[in-house]
Chain A
Amino acid sequence: MKLSLTSVLQRWTRLGAMLLLTALAGSAWASVQTTQPPLRPITIDLHDQAALRTGALYTLHMCVACHGIQGARYSELPPVLGLSKEDFLKYISTNGRHYHDTITSNMSEALMMKFVDMAPPDLTEIAHRRSPAWLYTYLTSFYADPARPTGANNVVFYNVSMPDVFATMQGLQKPVMVDGLRFGSPAKIAVGVQPLTAGTMSRAQFDQTAKDIVTFLYAVAHPHQQERMRLGPWIIGLFVMLSVLTYLIYRLYWARVITGKQRWWRIR
């Protein structure tokens, strides 16, 4: 049987493509596997000032007890929340810090080391690093775990050091466990939570509060988000226009070099 050049090439290409795909798939699945719980969806609306104010109240009165938000200063917040300086200082406690100070933790690092064996991470950095969906899932997914020193664990953060500070508001929760992998080994993995005891808030109320906190944290960690969105189209539009203009100038100058009706790029 005589093989034509094309058929040989096709056969080789098909074989090569198949092997290449196998290799790519191979290097993807072989990484260290841990079963990932699903994240709860959240949409961030930076224009929702009611949500931002609720978030600010909870964050600056509860979270700041242990966590700092050192990226931000108190004075940055009123414009974000749509409040005047006076109103802001009336409703929000700066714990005796100056209005232009950065938002630091109310607890000393030494004390925190004593309580939970680590200094709590700064929230500016956490809100930069983690997605809003992750943060929202984290805040709502603490569950009771007697094996932990704090009595609490978290669905998206296995063996977290932070205690379940929402227990009174949200009530205690129990995990939904499935058989999965942790770093490649079979293990029971928590993928969700179910209510165990009732808190001062209903489930929906607490979820909304957690969403507000995430919205506020996102706004604080991305202070120039709205400015970016506002300026971006203008700057990019300017360079799109300049591209068109400079392309026309290029064609104009090069008309002397490149010519021809059908194939305009032929060199004269």
Chain B
Amino acid sequence: MTETSRSRTLRVLDWFDRRLPLTALWRTQLSEYPAPKNFNVWYLFGSLALLVLVLQLATGLFLAIHYQPNPQLAYWSVLRTIQRDSHWGWLIRDMHVVGASAFFVLVYLHMYRGIMYGSYKKPRELLWLIGIFIYLALAAEAFLGYLLPWGQMSYWGSAVVTNFVTAIPVIGKPIAQWLRGSFVIGLPTLNRFFIFHVFLMPVLLLALVLVHMIALHQVGSNNPDGVEIHDNVNETGWPRDGIPFHPYYTVKDLFGVSAFFVVFFWFVFYRPDGWGFLLDKLNYTPANILHTPSDIHPLWFFLPFYAMLRGVPDKLYGILAFAGSFALLACLPLLDRNPVRSIRYRSPLYKLNILAMPLSFLWLGYIAHGFATEHNMVYGLHVTEIFYATFLVLPFFNKPRSPRATLTWLILAEAVVWMIDVWMYSIHAHGWGLMLLTDWIPSLYLLLLFGMALLRPAWTRDAASLPERLTAGGIFH
């Protein structure tokens, strides 16, 4: 590059900079934005989720071009026009299908990262709350999009979910009709679900993601050590444990993207329906209003919530049970007020509890995958109790507890579990036999947690001293 051409480039950039803060944005948000040195592999999932969002928008655009939001045409417009008649339609559709599931995998991992390293604690409570709203918007987006192929599972899944609102007393039914635009799922429903899926929710998601990132750059990133890097700055004001986001984390994310695409495209090319988990087998049958499938279940990412819904065989309380789990996630900053952020410096029993959280969630998914038998419903109820407990016992770990306080927690927690059982029995939801046989699930968990806290108080104590500086880093640490 000659001297003149370089100055010409600079002049062009200068022209833009006076009208749009391009260079300033690049510097403050990327090349001179301090990020902690010790991000590990868990910190890849946020940027990967952003990548998948862009991928879904791009593939979704091409799908929307060929899709017909009309019950007469929808099914074959997906299976013939998109999958067969248009060039590379099959690839784009399979990318969109696998992308939807990948989005949830990444978001679940991203959320669990936040839970492990205490990224919801002060000053990041709002950041966490915006994230929960993104998750809700994503769930709505996935639900709306699932109706569009107009298969059996699309149709009956949507029928079940739009029926949720009828649980509201008195005004429930009119609201459900207003939402569907009809007495049953039909043309008006498909039309509005289509426009919500391709316009309303994507705009909302993009706006929320932008707000999420603005909030993140306002407070700065947390890290696996939970040390606030901005508390230790050098004489120029630069955090001693910070490195510029670009180029260090851009090159690291590039590796993350490449590795992610290996798995992503393996699914796209070899298992686009993911053994019936990413795309239900029954959805290859066109929607039929006269034929209700014997087993209606949601896609894998909603299965745990489905188990919670089924566990409480009362429509309103069942819906409250699964909606409550979202509320619990949103309330996490209120429940866990322990000043220690990272799981690395938390007590062994806290670690056990944090491990039980995703395990009970997976267990719920496994239960919901089975048929809606009495047995599975009762198991669903009891594992829901464990999942709720993993959140509701968090205040116990906020400070060191005396043996008497621990015992009180144990007795109260067990009492709540048993009272729920008595209540279930009283509304004739479940019989005593199976209830008593399976009640050891939540009881044993609580007994294990608080009993160990009673026997070994040391296991409830967090690390004696926290590090002043970051300890270690690297992608595989």
A residues whose Cβ falls under 8 Å from a Cβ of B:
5, 8, 12, 16, 19, 23-24, 26-28, 30-32, 70-73, 76, 102, 121-122, 124-125, 128-129, 223-224, 228-229, 231-232, 235-236, 239-240, 242-243, 245-247, 249-250, 253-254, 257-258, 263-267
Contact = CB atoms under 8 A, between A and B. Distances in A.
A239 B265 contact: yes
A243 B259 contact: yes
B471 interface: yes
A232 B262 CA distance: 10
Nearest to B269: A232
A27 B367 CA distance: 7
Contacts of B183: none
Contact of A239 (B80, B252, B258, B375): B258
Contacts of B2: none
A264 B282 CA distance: 51
A141 to B, nearest CB: 21
A71 B255 contact: no
Contacts of B284: 125, 128-129
14 contacts: A8-B456, A27-B366, A30-B373, A125-B286, A128-B284, A235-B269, A249-B254, A249-B255, A250-B251, A253-B251, A254-B251, A264-B474, A266-B472, A267-B241
Contacts of B243: 257
B285 interface: yes
A265 B473 contact: yes
Q: What size tier do the contact residues of chain B reach? A: 35 or more
A257 B248 contact: yes
Contacts of A263: 472
A31 B371 contact: yes
B285 A129 contact: yes
Interface string B425-459: 00000000000001011001000100010011000
A226 to B, nearest CB: 12
B39 to A, nearest CB: 11
A180 to B, nearest CB: 18
B376 A27 contact: yes
Nearest to B279: A128
B444 A19 contact: yes
Given A124-B79, A128-B281, 14 more contacts: A12-B448, A27-B375, A125-B286, A223-B83, A223-B84, A223-B90, A232-B266, A235-B265, A239-B262, A242-B261, A250-B475, A254-B474, A257-B37, A267-B38
Given A16-B448, A267-B472, A228 B269 contact: yes
Contact of B254 (A70, A71, A121, A246): A246
A121 B262 contact: no
A6 to B, nearest CB: 12
Contact of A71 (B80, B376, B452): B80
A32 B281 contact: no
Contacts of B79: 71, 124-125
Is the contact region of chain B dominated by helix, strand, or loop, or is it mixed? helix
Contacts of B452: 12
A253 B248 CA distance: 7
B247 interface: yes
B76 A70 contact: yes
B102 to A, nearest CB: 14
B15 interface: no
A124 B83 CA distance: 12
A32 B80 contact: no
A71 B84 contact: yes
A129 B476 CA distance: 41
Contact of B370 (A31, A71, A243, A245): A31
A157 to B, nearest CB: 14
A46 to B, nearest CB: 15
A19 B448 CA distance: 13
A223 B370 CA distance: 32
Given A70-B76, A236-B266, A249 B474 contact: no
B215 interface: no
What are the 7 tightest A-B residue pairs by CB atom distance, in nearest-first order? A265-B474, A232-B269, A30-B375, A243-B258, A242-B258, A128-B284, A246-B255
A264 B376 CA distance: 49
A183 to B, nearest CB: 9
A124 B281 CA distance: 13
Contacts of A73: 84
Given A19-B444, A267-B38, A257 B473 contact: yes
Contacts of A250: 251-252, 254-255, 475
Interface string B229-264: 000000000000101000110011011011101100
Q: Of B254, B367, B455, which is in contact with the most chain A CB atoms at under 10 Å from its CB? A: B254
